[in-house]
Structure 1
Amino acid sequence: MLKINRENLKTSHQLIWFIIDFLMLGLLIINLTLIIIDSTYSFIAVQNLLLEHAPRVQQLYQPVHENFLFLDMIFVAIFLSEFFVRWGYALKARVYDRWYFYPFIHWYDLVGCIPVGSLRFLRVLRVISIIYRLHQYRIIDVTQSRLYQLVAFYYDAFMEELSDRIVIKVLSGVQHEMDRGSPLFERIQGDILYPRREMLTDWISTRVAKAASHGYMPKRAELRIYLEHRVDHALKQNLELSRLRLVPVVGPTIQETLEDAVGDIVANVIHQILEDLASTDNHGFIEDIVQVMLPEPGAGEPDEARNDALIALINEIIEAVKDQVRVKHWRAELKQ
């Protein structure tokens, strides 16, 4: 049910016109209801049904049906009178640049007044225009009505389903074009990715540094112990190193010293690599990788393996986008 904002109605400088709007809205609803009833009664089957089950109703309405054109002309006279009054006001207030603009803009008011069955229902447009005008001036708030919310919900659901199918169809077409070797991939690589190599390098460098600092630094001690344990185990499995124990007196000492040295060297090397990755020093390393992945267009023969890897990467990105597009947000709202 629409609520009338009485404060806005009282403070409005067009109070008289809003009162006329409400009166016309009521008359239009009554008129359209009578049109629907009379159109339904026009069917012989309906008349026979009333005559059989409700003869009193049929007898009372039959004169109305026979004189419905005269009854409708009374409403038409009222509607036309209001139309010409508003046209005169528009001329006086210079609402439009030309005197004949008003009937052209409000054509549905005139055409709906023609007493022909199919044209009478154009009066619905007049109802919509009045409601829209009242909503525009904040006399009523259409968005708070259940009918509007219901229609808006299913409209959004329909548009989401339609747009999702279109987007998925387009993205699938892009994947198909890339898989069959169209120039699209070369354009993506040469015109989109290559000019943004520096941006990609910065982004990958930042992500690698963040991953290394958050993933490695807090567990540096545990990783060192693990590496030393694995190196020690590998050295003990080495046949040549185990023969050092056969050296008299100093053999076992040399073996243990060598195992500790190798384990410490491996752990330090790994530690230094991860520290470099966790700092801004990794930028040059990442830049070299990006340059190998995205060489300058036309430089050398194309690497099929590299191209296949990039195509697979782009396909995975598109699949992720398609999965997100498939999410039905309107269903989540329906469950609320």
Structure 2
Amino acid sequence: MLHINRENLKASHQLLWFIIDMVMLALLFLNLALIIWDSIYNVTAVQQGLASHLPWLHQAYEPIHEQFFFYDLGFVAIFLTEFIVRWGYAIRQDIYDRWYFYPFIHWYDLVGCIPVGSFRFLRILRVVSIVYRLHQYRIIDVTNTRLYRFLNFYYDAFMEELSDRIVVKVLSGVQDEVRRGSPLFDHIRRDILFPRRDMLAEWLSRRVADAAQEGYLPNRGALRHYLEQQVNQALKQNVELSRLKYLPVVGPTIQGTLEDAVGDIVATVIHQILEDLASPDNHGFVSDLVGALLPEPDDASQRDDALIDLVVDIIEAVKGQVAVKHWRARLP
């Protein structure tokens, strides 16, 4: 249900034009109703049915039907008069840069004035233009109506489906180009990725350090205990090491000492690696890794399948996100 905002109506100083718009809306609805009725009446079966069951209506409307073109011209004359008045107002207020711009910008108000056949139904565009103009002045708010929400929902759904299909099609074409080793991939590597190699190394360095600090340091005791258990279990399953226990006197002692030493060495090495990764000093290691993935352009003459797969997988992830139907989440 549309509500008129009287405060905005007063502030817009459009009261006179608002009255004209209301009158024009009433005339447009009346004219469109007559056009629809006359189109229905033009069917022979309808005329015969009215002549049989409602002869008074048939006799009353038959002269109007025969002269409907002239009756319609009366509405057209009113619509054209209103159009000319608005055109003159636009010239007087210097709304547009040139005086003759108005009919080109408001072409939809003119095409409906053609009193021929299906052009008459284009007068619905005048209704849309009036409602839109009132909405622009915030005199009415069409976004609160059920019709607007209904149409807007399916418009958004249609546009999302259409744009998603186009984007997925384009991205699939990009993937094919990258797989074939087209100049696009060389452009991505040489002009996009390689100039940002230091930035990528810095970003990866921070991410690795944060992941190590958040994931490892708070749980290093439990991780060390787990590693020692796994190493001890692996050593006990080793046939050569299990033979040490058969040595006289010192065999079991050597076996136990060796298991403890190996477990401690493995846990210490992994602990040191993860601590190094958690430190800001890991930048050199990450830079070397990025440098290996993104070598100098002159050294990248051979096909880099790993980097191609990386780019293809990134595009595939983007396609997966694009394929998400957000409009379905708005369904009740």
Provide TM-score, normalisation by structure 1.
0.87
How far is 1:291 from its partner? 0.8
Q: 1:315 and 2:302 equivalent?
A: no
Counterpart for residue 213 of structure 2: 213
SS in 1 for 2:115: coil
Shift of 1:177: 1.6
Equivalent in the alignment of 1:168: 168
What is the one-letter code of the residue matched to 2:315? I
What CA distance in whole angstroms lies between the structure 2 residues aligned with 1:220 and 1:299?
41
- SS of the residue corresponding to residue 295 of structure 2 reads coil
28-37 vs 176-185, greater mean Cα deviation? 176-185
C-alpha distance after superposition, 1:258-302 (max 9, x if no partner):
332332222211111111112212211111111111111112652
Counterparts of 1:1-336 in structure 2 under 5 Å?
1-96=1-96, 98-238=98-238, 241-242=241-242, 245=245, 249-299=249-299, 302=302, 304=303, 307-335=304-332
Identify unmatched segments of 5+ residues in structure 1: none
Comparing 124-133 with 284-293, greater Cα deviation is found at: 124-133
Higher mean C-alpha displacement, 10-19 vs 317-326: 10-19
Moved more, 238-247 or 192-201: 238-247
Decide whether aligned partners of structure 1 residues 41 and 210 sit closer, same or farther in structure 2, where only a CA change above 3 A counts.
same
Deviations 1:61-91 (A, max 9, x none): 2122123233223323333333343344444
* Structure 2 unaligned regions, length at least 5: none
**Cα distance change on mapping 1:76 and 1:278 into 2, 3 Å:** same
- CA distance in structure 2 between the partners assigned to 1:76 and 1:311 by the alignment: 65
Q: CA 1:260/1:33 → structure 2, altered by over 3 Å: closer, same or farther?
A: same
Alpha-carbon offset, residue 214 of structure 1 = 2.3
Q: CA deviation at 1:164?
A: 0.6
**Deviation (angstroms), 1:242:** 5.0
SS in 2 for 1:298: helix
Q: Deviations over 1:239-260 (max 9, x none)?
A: 5555655655555444433332
The amino acid that maps onto 2:307 is L
Partner Cα distance (1:111, 1:257) in 2: 98
Q: Partners of 1:178 and 1:33 in 2: how far apart?
A: 59
Deviations 1:104-139 (A, max 9, x none): 544554554443234333432322222222111111
- 1:25-70 CA-to-partner distances (Å, cap 9, x unmatched) read 1111111211121122122233223334444432332122123233
SS in 1 for 2:220: helix
Secondary structure in structure 2 of the residue aligned to 1:281: helix
Distance 1:101 1:310 in 2: 55
Aligned length: 332
1:75 & 1:317 partners in 2: Cα distance?
61
**Distance in 2, Cα, partners of 1:299 & 1:186:** 12
CA distance in 1 between partners of 2:52 and 2:243 (Å): 116
SS at match of 1:138: coil
Distance 1:297 1:129, change over 3 A: same
* Cα distance in 1 for residues equivalent to 2:312 and 2:101: 55
CA distance in 2, matches of 1:73, 1:239: 106
Give, in angstroms, the shift of residue 218 of structure 1. Answer: 2.5
Matched residue SS, 2:298? coil
